[in-house]
Amino acid sequence: MSNDAADDDVDADGYEFYGDDVERRPGDARVDDMDDEDARQDDDDDDFEREFAPESAYARVKHAWMRERLAPEILSYIDDDARELKRAIDAQEQRLEREQAREGKDQATEICLNAMWTELHRAKYVLREYLRTRLRKIEKYAMFIALDDEDERGSWARLSEAEQRYVTNYLAAVTEHSRSVLDGLPENYRDLIKEHDDNDEMSQAELRESKMVSKPNLDAAVFFRFREDVGNFLLDENAAEDGERSIELRRGQILLAKYSMFKELLETEPPKAELV
Answer with the residue of higher pLDDT: 270 or 55.
270
- pLDDT cut 90: percent of the chain above it: 49
The answer to whether position 216 is within a domain reads: no
Q: What is the mean pLDDT of residues 103-108?
A: 88
For the ranges 2-6, 83-87, 226-230, 246-250, the lowest mean pLDDT is seen at: 2-6
Q: What is the DSSP letter of 14?
A: -
Residue 142 has pLDDT above 60, yes or no: yes
- Mean pLDDT of the 153-157 span: 88
Is this structure's pTM higher than 0.75? no
pLDDT interval class at 48 (50, 70, 90): low
In this structure, what are the phi and psi dihedrals at residue 95, rounded to the nearest 5 degrees? Answer: -60, -45
pLDDT at 60: 93
Distance CA 205, CA 191 (A): 14
**pLDDT higher than 70, residue 15:** no
Complete DSSP assignment for 138-207: HHHTHHHHHTTTT-TTSTGGGS-HHHHHHHHHHHHHHHHHHHHHHTTS-GGG-HHHHHH-TT----HHHH
Domain stops at, among 137, 154, 189: 137
**What is the per-residue pLDDT for 29?**
38
Instruction: State whether 96 and 41 are in the same domain.
Output: yes
Domain housing 257: 221-275
Query: Residues 262, 178: one domain?
Result: no
pLDDT band at 249 (very low <50, low <70, confident <90, very high): very high
CATH for 232: 3.40.5
> Does residue 214 lie within any of the structural domains?
no
What gap in Å lies between CA 137 and CA 69, rounded to an integer?
A: 10
97 shares a domain with 155: no
- Domain co-membership, 193 together with 242: no
Domain match, 93 and 172 both: no
29-42 pLDDT, tens digit per residue, is 333 443 444 444 55
- Answer for the pair 240, 259: CB distance below 8 angstroms, yes or no: no
Out of 101, 118, 137, pick the residue that ends a domain: 137
Lowest pLDDT segment from 4-8, 47-51, 58-62, 202-206: 4-8
Q: Is residue 215 part of a domain?
A: no
Is the bond leading into 54 cis (omega within 30 degrees of zero)?
Answer: no
* 181 domain residue, yes or no: yes
Q: What is the pLDDT of residue 28?
A: 41
Same domain, 9 and 47: yes
Section 234-260 average pLDDT: 81
Instruction: Give the model's confidence band at 5: pLDDT under 50 very low, under 70 low, under 90 confident, else very high.
Output: very low
133 and 149 in a single domain? The answer is: no
State the pLDDT at residue 203. Answer: 57
User: Do 193 and 109 belong together in one domain?
Assistant: no
The DSSP secondary-structure symbol of 22 reads: S
Same domain assignment for residues 202 and 238 = no
3-state class (DSSP) for residue 217: coil
Averaged pLDDT for residues 45-54? 66
Count of domains forming the chain: 3
Q: Which of 16-20, 23-27, 192-196 has the highest mean pLDDT?
A: 192-196
**Which of residues 137, 160, 189 is at a domain's end?**
137
Judge whether 77 and 60 are in contact, CB under 8 Å: no
